[in-house]
Amino acid sequence: MLPDGLGAVVATRSVGEKYKYHSHLWMFSADGTRQLTVGDVADSQPRVRPTGDGVAFVSNRAKPGKQIFWLPFDGGEPRPITSLPEGEIGEFRWSPLGNEIAFLFRKTLDERTEDAKKKREESGESAPPWIVEDLTWRYDGDGIFGAARYQVWVADFETGVARPVFCEAKKGECQFAWSPDGKQLAIAFNPKERPTMEPFGETIVRVELESGRVVRTDSLPVVNFSKLAWSPNGEWIATLYEDRETDRFGYKNNCLALVGARDFEFRSITGKLDIDFACSMLSDLRESGASPELFWTSDSSQILLSVARRGGSHLARLDLRASGFGPAEPEFLTEGMEEFTLCTCSSDGRIAVCAVSRPDGLPEFRLVEVLDSGVRPAAETGFNDAFASEIEVLPLDEHWVESEPGVQVHTWVIRPKFAEGERRPCVLEVHGGPHGMYTRAFFFEMQLLAANGYVVVFSNPRGSTGYDESFARCIDGDWGVKDWRDVQAIADFASTLDFVDAERLAIMGGSYGGYMVNWAISHTNRYKCAITDRCVSNLLSKSGNSDYTFVPNGVWPGAAYGDYEILWDRSPVKHFANVETPTMVIHSEGDLRCNVEQGEQVFAFLQMRGIPSRFVRYPSNTSHGMSRAGPPDLRIDRLRRILSWYSERL
């Protein structure tokens, strides 16, 4: 955002020729929207310089690697600020004075660079083996990176000279924030020797950039941190955290705390509230799981953020001065069916940019004025106006379904157009995670199914986040019990709708949702057909072949190589002797979260039992997130195959 709050720079992604993604920067304000960058490029992470004279961003236009580029607002072409070796750039932040940039950088291993590959091709040599010595060597959507790790670097804006300033995060995962004088960085990371096996008890350090001195503390409670924001007066570092004092594993709410910038005093601000301040909102229009941004007002008295809960997301404010910088409750500034995700705000906190999602259309960016009570719209982009004019979006009917006494499951129904008295086939959608939530926002896949005549029912059963901590954590290490009861209750509810043909009920889901589909077809024959997508089917094999391996006696009791009884009992394939439901299996070879062998087992056992089944196996350039971020032509192909399966079977 521009310092005066009158405009902001945003990044968009669109599909160009030959189904190729392009990402460009745009400026928008009350005066309109104009494009800043063009070409066959991927420009992302725009950050306006605090001086307001231009924007820095990450781009692949300096191939083969990425660099941080600078685009002045007074004209001219983008120029690279950095000249880094080949590698990946993560999050980056301007210093408060705009003279330096801090960023995460992971240098590509020498033998894996494009130059090394070219030399091997010329000499006829084969690719070298990957050599790994710990469990962190690949991530879904990121690929295999071996022993390479992200480190915190700082680059000089004028000269582009960059240097690493913090390299202690053995897993390569850390959060950072600038001090208001630009002389220090606060960095949160896991200091353990084996952080994958001990993913709790993180710490915060201060790095004095001129001397390189690292100021440490051993007084912090046992917590995990995400997102840091240093107050303008230099007194506090705001952070989101998970309390791990008594519970090392399993789901925990993300709460907000203040950490003293000088003495590391820890003050929980929202720990008594049963609100998760980093709840994942699930959609096929965006990636999920990112923690919300935290923004201080210029007088260091308030924090602005977005809070996702109960099927929605809204802009909120915490007034810390009013609470004496002690426990405080968020004041919600927005309400209703629209969802607001805070992207950035002006230095005084009076103007904010939000990504706004709605049930009846695709998301846009909105500039809002933050008032003493609520917000007032100032401008909005119209990137998706042309598409919106071509489609009709069907409305959502909202329900609360009782699963068991005292258990209410948030549920939505999309009704297709049909003749009065007609009963239509129905598809139950089960979300992944399981810790995340469906929301009211536009979901392309569901609207497509409804447009083709199917009633769509989706819900947030136990395990979902955004309601309360006990609702989410009650299924940790215990899938297929309480969550399964909720899914059955939703199926019962759907069957009672007077426009649903209860004999033509289908179930589908991806990731953990695929697990629940597999569990459903192995425990009931009520579904006429099913689709299991990027699924979990065997907890024994998954515990060792995922990018997120199961820590023995962590979330799940036991281990695949020891006390495996619970892992095996809760594996759907153990119960596949009962399956009679025709099922389509969708999986990606490049899925590092739920390995493709999970889908292979489902298909193999269905075929062995003579159950009508189909395996749709996507190539290795697709990942676990293919349905929301994969190649556009394959995303279209997936949707067409889903419609074809239902046309044949439902």
Convert the pLDDT of each residue in 182-217 to its tens digit: 999 999 999 999 999 999 999 999 999 999 999 999
Residue type, 585: V
Is the pLDDT at 558 greater than 60? The verdict is yes
Q: What percent of the chain has pLDDT over 90?
A: 96
Convert the pLDDT of each residue in 119-164 to its tens digit: 999 999 999 999 999 999 999 999 999 999 999 999 999 999 999 9
What gap in Å lies between CA 55 and CA 74, rounded to an integer? 11
373-399 mean pLDDT: 95
Is the pLDDT at 289 greater than 80? The verdict is no
Query: pTM score, two decimals?
Result: 0.97
What gap in Å lies between CA 491 and CA 478, rounded to an integer? 21
The domains found in the chain, sorted by start residue, are 1-120+143-167 (2.120.10.30), 392-649 (3.40.50.1820)
Helix (H) / strand (E) element for 531: namely: strand 529-533
**Cα–Cα distances in angstroms (integers) from residue 456 to residues 263, 397, 503, 505, 581, in the given order:** 54, 10, 15, 10, 19
- How would residue 78 be classed by pLDDT, with cut points 50, 70 and 90? very high
What gap in Å lies between CA 123 and CA 119, rounded to an integer? 6
**Cα–Cα distances in angstroms (integers) from residue 546 to residues 140, 212, 443, 625, in the given order:** 9, 37, 27, 14
457-481 mean pLDDT: 97
What gap in Å lies between CA 324 and CA 421, rounded to an integer? 61
- Look at residues 193, 226, 189, 225 and name the one whose alpha carbon lies nearest to residue 207: 189
pLDDT at 290: 59
pLDDT at 506: 99
What gap in Å lies between CA 528 and CA 504, rounded to an integer? 6
69-75 mean pLDDT: 95
With 0-12 CB in 10 A as exposed, 13-18 as middle and 19+ as buried, what is 128?
A: exposed
- How would residue 286 be classed by pLDDT, with cut points 50, 70 and 90? confident
Residue with token string 């809070």: 307
Convert the pLDDT of each residue in 244-253 to its tens digit: 999 999 999 9
Where are the extended beta strands (E) located within 51-202?
A: 54-59, 67-72, 79-80, 87-94, 100-107, 138-139, 143-144, 151-156, 162-166, 174-178, 184-189
Structural contact between residues 175 and 200, judged by C-beta atoms closer than 8 angstroms: no
Sorted by sequence, the CB contacts under 8 Å of residue 321 that are 6+ apart come out as: 301, 302
Here the tokens at position 34 are 């104009």
Mean pLDDT, rounded, of the chain:
96
Tally: H helices and E strands in the chain: 11, 37
Is the pLDDT at 288 greater than 90? The verdict is no
**Cα–Cα distances in angstroms (integers) from residue 428 to residues 482, 504, 529, 575, 628, in the given order:** 17, 11, 11, 21, 19
572-576 mean pLDDT: 98
Integer-rounded Cα Rg, in Å, for the chain is 25
Helix (H) / strand (E) element for 204: namely: strand 203-208
Higher pLDDT: 649 or 291? It is: 649
Sorted by sequence, the CB contacts under 8 Å of residue 24 that are 6+ apart come out as: 11, 12, 14, 35, 36, 37, 38, 39, 41, 43
Convert the pLDDT of each residue in 311-343 to its tens digit: 999 999 999 999 999 999 999 999 999 999 999
Residue with token string 């304000």: 29
- Look at residues 524, 506, 616 and name the one whose alpha carbon lies nearest to residue 575: 524
Is the pLDDT at 64 greater than 90? The verdict is no
SS (H, E, C) 419-478: CCCCCEEEEEEECCCCCCECCCCCCHHHHHHHHCCCEEEEEECECECCCCHHHHHCCCCC
Here the tokens at position 543 are 């515990």
Residue type, 611: I
pLDDT at 413: 98
Convert the pLDDT of each residue in 435-465 to its tens digit: 999 999 999 999 999 999 999 999 999 999 9
Is the pLDDT at 292 greater than 90? The verdict is no
